[in-house]
Structure 1
Amino acid sequence: MQTHEIRDRFTNHFVTAGHTAVASASLLLDDPTLLFVNAGMVPFKPYFLGQQNPPFDNGTATSIQKCVRTLDIEEVGVTTRHNTFFQMAGNFSFGAYFKEGAITHAWALLTNPVDQGGYGLDPERLWVTVYLDDDEAAEIWEKKIGVPAERIQRMGMEDNYWSMGVPGPAGPCSEIYYDRGPEYGEEGGPAVDDGRYLEIWNLVFMQYERGASDSEDDYPILGELPKKNIDTGMGVERVACILQGVDNVYETDLLRPVIEAAEKVTGTTYGASEEGDVRFRVIADHARTSMMLILDGVTPGNEGRGYILRRLLRRMIRSARLLGATGATVETFISTIMDTMTPSFPEIIDNRERILRVALNEEKAFLKTLESGTKLFDETAAAVKNSGKSVVGGHEAFELHDTYGFPIDLTLEMAAEAGLEVDMAQFDAEMQQQRDRAKADSKAKKHGHTDETVYREWVDAHPTEFIGYNELTAEATVLGLVADGASVTSAPAGTDVEVILDATPMYAESGGQLGDRGRLVAGDTVLEVADVQKIGKKIWVHKATVIAGGVELGMKVNAEVDENWRHGARQAHTATHLIHGALRQVLGPTAVQAGSLNRPGYLRFDFNYTEQLSPDQLDEIALITNQAVDTDWSVNTIETTLDEAKAMGATALFGETYADDVRVVEIGGPFSIELCGGTHVDTSAQIGPVAVLGETSVGSGARRIEAYSGLDAFKYYSKEAALASGLASNMKAKTEELPGRIAQLTDRLKAAEKEIQNLHRQQLTAQTGQLLERAETVGDVRLLMVKLDGVAAGDLRTVATDLRGRLKGETAVIVLASDVDGKVPFVVGATQAAVDKGIKSGDLVKLFGEYVGGRGGGKPDMAQGSGNDVAGVEAGFSAVRDRVANS
């Protein structure tokens, strides 16, 4: 049974049982506790936390959620059961049914015959576990389902008790295991051998509320929840192993084709060695996870989600090289995994070109890193050999790994080829320190959701009616007031208060458009509204200050949008659509939106693209945008279903979740058609001019365009024209002659600066002989340490190089430092005899940097750095003297 059929059977089983089918959320959710969605229940957290009531018929839902877990990437492939990406099929009950319902549903799907919609598993091969004191679940399994008591095992809190890791819902679990047979391990159930007995489904019974604790498996239980809920998770990949009769998840229909592709490009056979098999599994796993992350809008970078993606791609590339691949491999692996995953995720088809572009660009960058890293390793290895040693320091290996992205396995391989070893104990210690720092940072960032329970009454009972598409003023009733995080009945003058109305013309911040500003007025009462936010997608919260009078619950007020604010916001938001349309015309469909912000008169538009735009491309985007304004197209809004909107070709924002009924904004037919709930002008000419300011990088594979719209664009152009006119007047030239005149002046200035710099260096070089007279003898080393104030870093290096050349026949070390506007550039040079003695410039630079609040690095014979504490220079000199004396 293919994986996509396993998914379909799961969904059909629960939809037939009355559950609402919920599409998988993006891997990227606005959740302060998560980097990626890592469990099937994550999109349902607001309902489990009691922040919102579930909007599902019968209080039940089912989904197949895409998930990513990356805590121990190094362990991927070592075991054959774990993937960084996986699909979690789940059914959820919010007070509708509890233990018996969850157990009955799961057992029926697993054991019903295939021709009746089930998976047809042999009931005799299924084992279950329950929590230690969960007699209720154990009795259901034995009495209701008929599982023999000897196949029901009780486990402790670590295995069979669940919580979110923060205060909130918690409860016991019951897990279902499949016995793969004696060839896989020892008999006796999952308590004896969880290699033979494969966990395939976890049923979580949320019935308690847990308190705060620093321990993951020891926390106080505060009491029972008012509603008992169900959260289950069935591992799609693990069930596929069983139904496809393969040993592990890497041999299923989704990943085995990637391994076969890797065999072809590497010339190595899967199954030939355990070490090689691990690398094959890394390729298959990381290819899929990388592809799915790019699909959801992640681009490689140096932090956060982007760093995870970069690391996955580079480990995949490196694994292929270690298996024997010599050229580019990414296109083969990513294309193969897209083919296997498309039946389950058809949106891959429309994003195929973009996914490949991002992945291939990262491969090119990494191949350059491998080249530069190899040079750095060669220098390190040469220094080790010259010192008479045979071990590359763990610190150097870690620096190659952490700073330059050079994989440790490559360092080990190259060290062996050079007849050297690597101090892995020190490397592992530094890696552990890095992990500890990461965990501490993660723990510091991990906190509960913003407490929105104060709004729950209104979210559940009084969703705000937004009437602002057609009206800018409206009479409304005050349904709720919140001050300092608590519900209040009134607010006097001078109070900052959040006001909840039954209806409002004010737009709440969403889709990149900032919330409206305006006023709430009732007789002598006046509230200035500075922002409007949406809670639970149902209520509009007006953040206001009571300017006069006072506001009370039940009061009738006139809600008035600031017309100037709305006018500018509509212009900017509609201009954003035009720039998106122009961008796709110039760059093609792979340049997709990754986010935006628009406020009156200004917009920025982020898009996924791997290359810097040329001036000509930017000019063309600006021209097409303003041509669209001049064409005066009608701006049409269409309310329709999500499926119909997709059929129309409407584009959507990555990571955004849309309801079944959506709003489409269409401008100029195929020029621009997008899903959007924002406010817009009636015709494109109402935008006024659009001034494209420029384009910048906001991360690897992500770019940003900024622009002014309307009157702000006119002011910008007017200011630019006045500036050009002023320059032309001062230079006695025509405006169109300015670029040439400025280029001539720039060239002359650069030539003059270069001449001055050369003269300055000649003066410094002339003083070299005098500087040598200040050298001292420390042991058998000539040590010259001088502070040359006002000398830039480049000139310091020139002087140090000259001094080292004059002392090349001796065992000598030169240390130069300067004070340049409070900054402390410093350089250390060492002759070859000093390097052979074990004195490395890089080590001395790091030592000196500790005293001047800086850091640096370089080669054994020449290194440099910069600090910001001039007062520490003499102490730095002293520390270097002591180090040289002990060499």
Structure 2
Amino acid sequence: MSVDTTLTGTEIRARFLDFFASKDHVKMPSSSLVPHNDPTVLLTTAGMQQMIPYFLGRETPPAARMTSAQKCFRTTDIDKVGNQRTLTFFEMLGNFSVGDYFKREAIAYAWEFLTKVVNLPADRLHPTVHPEDDEAARYWHEIAGYADEAIVRLDENWWGPPGASGPCGPDSEIYYDRGVEYGCGTADCKPGCECERFLEIWNLVFMQFYQDLDGTRTPLPRRNIDTGMGLERLTMVLQGKESVFDTDLLRTIIDRFALITETPYGQSAKTDTSLRVIADHGRALVFLAADGVLPSNEGRGYIFRRILRRAVRHGKLLGLDKPFLAEATNTVIDLLGEHYTELKTQRERIIEVLSQEEKKFSQTLNTGLNLLNELLADLQQQHKKVIPGEEVFRLYDTHGFPVELTQEIAAEHGFSVDTSGFEESMQRQQERSRAGASNAFSQAQDDRALTEILKREGTTEFLGYTGLVSSSKVVALMVDGEEVTDISAPQQALVILDKTPFYAESGGQIGDHGDITGPLGNFQVQDTRRPIKGLIAHYGQLTEGHLRVGDSIQADVIERRRADTMRNHSATHLLHKALRDRLGSQVQQRGSLVEPERLRFDFTSPRPLNSADLVHIDTQINEWIRANYPVQTKIMPIQDAMQTGAMALFGEKYDDMVRVVSMGSSIELCGGTHCATTGQIGTYVTVQETSIAAGIRRIEALTGRAAENYLRQKRETVDRIAALLQVQSEQVEPRIEQLLQDLAGARRQITQYQRNEAKSQAQNLVQQAQDVAGIPVVTASVTAPDAKILRDMGETILSKLAQPGVVVLASDLGERIALQVNIHQTLTKRGLHAGKLAGVVGERLGGKGGGRPDSAQGGGKDKTAIQPSLELAKAFVRDNLK
């Protein structure tokens, strides 16, 4: 049978998943682009990332055989996107075996799918293996009939972990021969050659080892299979296209923007590159936003912002002067929303996030252009033709101005860019970023020791739902990432118990504090966490005596702290329900912080909350509190829980059995601790509502004792103000309004007086103008209450001079000396520049100055230098006037 070139990308994905389902593989949904419990990477880069806990034996997989189409994002080649094959976002098809089948079956399944299911010609498929992997080479011979000399052995056939440590092993890659016309023409052209002839389409990884941070490899307890095949590349081959951008998965988006910009695709290399960039970046941004990644200046948010800015720049190159990314949103969702249903449910929020950030960057772009033009003008004055690298980096890093755009504009004006200086500045920033990420790698190093404890001792039993005290046994101790048998005061350590009442931080609720008391010592628990699934770790310090592995101890949680935390946690559930009732079902939780002193709740919202919204929400929550609903918990299969209408936390990974917490009409999946009834919350009060990102709002609130203290302080404040104003409490507001009106009137009178005084001074100074090099120059120390009136004085004096002149004024504003320089425009053409003059005078004042050629400001703090600095102004005029 011949290749069916009419297959769409959607159909190819379905064929792959259905094929492996027929081989007893469970179809797994794609995990989020934000990795779950993996600090070593910012974004999901491969289908195997969600499988790592299964490969390492930390978690039990839902099945020994699995298959998925995984959303992936790679940042290594962002600047290359726009060529024929490089993408940031892509889909990875994969099949996985956890301790089940291994090399033979993996190779057999791959061969059957490629040659029988999608009918690729066998003579165009070429496998490669690791030089030392004779076993894989033998299976390729037995299954597919390849002679040994036809199997290429490459040193690169080794798959390493996505972070610094993790599972790894040899791999076998399958290449597709595109034809000699794509080759380099050399006699030894073969898979692995850098030419375009052989295209890698599938990688079969034989996961056999665990790699430590230092590169040491040890055998895994069981051998696993991880394969990855890019859907876009496979679609390109099957559809007979020259580029991944020509497949229906991306060409649909390209055609949409070609229509909008009236730019035909395929006629210009430059415009084709821009259309491809917009298609890839637009698609990537939609998926990032859907998975909760928001623009910021660090981490994932910086990646989001960087690719959005690159997309906007290429849009402008195509003549798009208004926001356009919403077009990408709708096109991507219409194309991929059936498989990735989160795109449909998040459509409005995705559009809002992209539109707001695009609008913000458009303003940034305009600001950057103005700054660049000023920089070029300044360099022109200095007869320089190279833009310093640190200035280019400042535009890029501080203002988000693309380096490529700086280079293009510079070239148009006859300038070049100091690229080496830019790279040095960039490298310094990257070194700072790497230093900030070091804690993540130390955490990965600790995981190995904790995993060994989990295997040896089993999971920690949590008793904290029913009590705050337990009799337990110490099963492990760790100091500085290493297991020890005993600790002595005042050592800091990590303690693992066989069972514990201490709640480990999770779902926004912080961990418990308390004491672990043994026969010979006391350990103060300062934090409780779950570093890996199954283990509860108590972090703190031994305050007295000794503690040993095997000791029988008593664990005590601080009761008041837990009770305050539970009030806030139960209140977040009521808040979530109240927000959805008020704003609509599009409201979704995006994070929370539950601690004894307060609660913080982040949520999606199409608009800010007004005062009426906040009053309604507070009233509703307090009504539910007074209703004293029982707080009920049930353990049930996740499918049953979702059918009850229980709300799940966006992006959270849940087990097959989940804990459902209900109170009144609020039903949520939650593993945290809660009050027995809503009445135990006491009182709820919202103290702040703010925006934290595009489409994301934050509420901070108090309950119980903290809420009572807050309201008491508010009442006491009002009472004190009433006493000061000598009115009753209910008369405070109208009395303050009257006082503000009186104050505003008095300020207007003072301002008018100051302006009149300034005019009088200005008129007198016009008469005192001195002739310097044939032009009138006014230099004076004046009395002005602020910089605005000082600026008005300068403009007034300049306008009243008999001929074009120069005005330099200084005024003592208390903490500093303000400086104003005005130069008539006709004199700026004769070599005088107000900004440079302000710089000279400002420096003499112990400060600085700068501005436009005709108007500038500055200042300093050296009051003794006012008169000498004004004399410098006259000298500047004499020396620079042409």
CA contact (8 A) 1:788 1:819 kept: no
The 2-side partners of 1:883 and 1:178 are apart by 73
**CA-CA distance at 1:250 after TM superposition:** 2.0
User: Where does residue 340 of structure 1 map in the other structure?
Assistant: 335
Q: In the alignment, is the contact (CA less than 8 A) between 1:180 and 1:196 conserved in 2?
A: yes
Structure 2 match to 1:189 = 190
Deviations 1:471-525 (A, max 9, x none): 2222222211223433222334544332211111221111111111233345675
Q: How far has the Cα of 1:596 moved from its partner?
A: 0.9
1: CA distance, partners of 2:844 / 2:138: 69
| Structure with more relative contact order (C-alpha pairs < 8 Å, separation 6 or more) | 1
The reply on whether 1:147 has 2:140 as its aligned counterpart is no
Superposition deviation, residue 588 in structure 1: 2.6
Query: Does the CA contact (< 8 Å) of 2:77 and 2:86 recur in 1?
Result: no
Map of 1:458-857 to 2, 5 A cutoff?
Answer: 458-460=453-455, 461-522=457-518, 525-609=521-605, 611-669=607-665, 672-753=666-747, 755-756=749-750, 759=753, 793-794=787-788, 797-798=791-792, 801=795, 812=806, 814=808, 821=815, 830-833=823-826, 835-837=828-830
Between the aligned partners of 1:185 and 1:262, the Cα distance in structure 2 is: 33
Within a 5 Å distance, the mapping from 1:266-277 to structure 2 comes to 266-277=261-272
* Partner deviation per Cα, 1:249-307 (whole Å, 9 max, x = no partner): 22333322222322332233222322222222122112211111111112233444333
Write the letter of the residue equivalent to 1:76.
Answer: V
Say which SS state the counterpart of residue 500 (structure 1) adopts: strand
Alignment equivalent of 2:79, drawn from 74, 80, 83: 74
**Structure 2 equivalent of residue 217 of structure 1:** none
Partner of 1:539: helix, strand, or coil? Answer: coil
Distance in 2, Cα, partners of 1:777 & 1:859? 24
Identify if the C-alpha distance between structure 1 residues 520 and 445 changes in structure 2 by more than 3 Å, giving closer, same or farther. closer
Q: Deviations over 1:839-866 (max 9, x none)?
A: 6556777899999998887544334578
Tell me by how many angstroms 1:389 deviates. Answer: 9.6
Of residues 130-139 and 276-285 in structure 1, the stretch that sits farther from structure 2 once superposed is: 130-139
Counterpart in the other structure of 2:326: 331
Do 2:184 and 2:195's aligned partners in 1 also have CA atoms closer than 8 Å? no
User: C-alpha displacement at 1:470, in angstroms?
Assistant: 2.0
Q: Which moves more between the two structures, 368-377 or 123-132? A: 368-377
The answer for the alignment partner of 2:353 in structure 1 is 358
How far residue 131 of structure 1 moved from its aligned partner, in angstroms, is 4.5
User: Aligned pair 1:25/2:23, yes or no?
Assistant: no
Residues 314 and 223 of structure 1: is their aligned pair in 2 closer, same or farther, counting only changes over 3 Å?
A: closer
State the match for 2:60 in structure 1. 55
Alignment of 1:88-99 (within 5 A): 88-92=92-96
Q: Which runs of 5+ in 2 are unaligned?
A: 1-6
Report whether the alignment pairs 1:439 with 2:430: yes
Q: CA-to-partner distance for each residue in 1:654-689, whole Å, 9 max, x for gaps?
A: 3422222222222323xx332211111122222111
Q: TM-score, normalised by structure 2?
A: 0.84
Partner of 2:44: 37
Q: Quick one: which of 269, 291, 295 aligns to 2:290?
A: 295
Please state how far the C-alpha of 1:650 moved relative to its aligned partner.
3.0
1:749-797 deviation line (CA, Å, top 9, x unaligned): 3444455456556656766689899999999999999899997554554
Aligned counterparts of 1:844 and 1:229: Cα–Cα separation in 2 = 72
The letter of the residue matching 1:441 is R
Question: Whole-Å Cα distance in 2 between the matches of residues 589 and 878 of structure 1?
Answer: 70
Instruction: Tell me, in whole angstroms, the C-alpha distance in 2 between the residues paired with 1:679 and 1:172.
Output: 46
User: Which residue number in structure 2 is paired with residue 215 of structure 1?
Assistant: none
Moved more, 323-332 or 348-357: 323-332
Distance 2:201 2:265 in 1: 26
Contact 1:38–1:67 (CA under 8 A) maintained in structure 2: yes
The answer as to whether partners of 2:45 and 2:74 remain within 8 angstroms in 1 is yes
In structure 2, give the amino acid aligned to 1:344. Answer: H
Aligned twin of 1:84 = 88
Equivalent AA in structure 1 for residue 250 of structure 2: L
Q: Which residue of 2 aligns with 1:862?
A: 855
Q: What pairs with 1:222-371 in structure 2 (closer than 5 Å)?
A: 222=216, 225=219, 230-325=225-320, 327-369=322-364
Amino acid at match of 2:179: G
- C-alpha distance after superposition, 1:816-847 (max 9, x if no partner): 697864x7876665543454356655677789
Q: Distance in 2 between matches of 1:387 and 1:493?
A: 69
Aligned partner letter, 2:126: W
Ranges in structure 1 where 5+ consecutive residues have no aligned partner:
213-219
Q: Give the counterpart letter for 2:684 in structure 1.
A: V
**Is the alpha carbon distance of 1:122 and 1:852 closer, same or farther for their aligned partners in structure 2, counting shifts above 3 Å?**
farther
Return the alpha-carbon distance in structure 1 between the equivalents of residues 144 and 620 of structure 2: 67
The alignment yields a C-alpha RMSD, in angstroms, of 4.5
CA distance in 1, matches of 2:95, 2:772: 76
Whole-Å Cα distance in 2 between the matches of residues 303 and 811 of structure 1?
Answer: 50
**1:453: how far off?**
2.6
Offset of 1:543 from its aligned partner? Answer: 2.3
Question: C-alpha displacement at 1:597, in angstroms?
Answer: 0.6
In 2, Cα distance between equivalents of 1:622 and 1:638: 28
Matched residue of 1:536: which SS? Answer: coil
CA 1:554–1:434 in 2, change beyond 3 Å: closer, same or farther? same
Give distance in 2, aligned partners of 1:880 and 1:71: 53
Q: CA deviation at 1:434?
A: 5.1
Q: Distance in 1 between matches of 2:230 and 2:817?
A: 57
Change (3 A) 1:589 1:838: farther
Contact 1:479 1:554 in 2 (8 A): yes
Structure 1 residue matching 2:731: 3-state secondary structure: helix
State the alpha-carbon separation in 1 of the partners of residues 203 and 869 from structure 2: 60
- Shift of residue 46, structure 1, vs aligned partner: 5.8
Q: What are the residue-to-residue correspondences of 1:397-416 with 2, within 5 Å?
A: 403-405=398-400
Q: CA deviation at 1:586?
A: 2.8
Q: Is 1:199 equivalent to 2:204 in the alignment?
A: no
- Separation in structure 1 between the aligned mates of residue 630 and residue 417 of structure 2, nearest angstrom: 67
Secondary structure class of the residue paired with 1:41 = helix
**Match of 1:216?**
none
Report Cα offsets for 1:606-644 as digits up to 9, x if no partner: 223464432232223222222222333332323222333
CA spacing shift, 1:303–1:552, aligned 2, 3 Å: closer
SS in structure 1 at match of 2:451: helix
More deviation, 741-750/786-795: 786-795
1: CA distance, partners of 2:419 / 2:448: 45
Query: How big is each residue's C-alpha offset from its partner over 1:370-392, in whole Å with a ceiling of 9 and x where there is no partner?
Result: 666677778789x6999799989
Residues 161 and 463 from structure 1, CA distance in 2 versus in 1: closer, same or farther, beyond 3 angstroms?
closer
Q: How has the CA–CA distance of structure 1 residues 410 and 5 changed in structure 2, closer, same or farther, with 3 Å as cutoff?
A: same
For residues 167-212 of structure 1, the C-alpha deviation after alignment (integer angstroms, 9 at most, x for no partner) is 6666554322112234544463344454232211234456677787
The 8 Å contact of residues 84 and 285 in structure 1, kept in 2 or not, is answered as: yes
Instruction: Tell me how far apart the structure 2 counterparts of residues 754 and 554 of structure 1 sit (CA, whole Å).
Output: 79
Cα offset, 1:547, TM superposition: 4.3
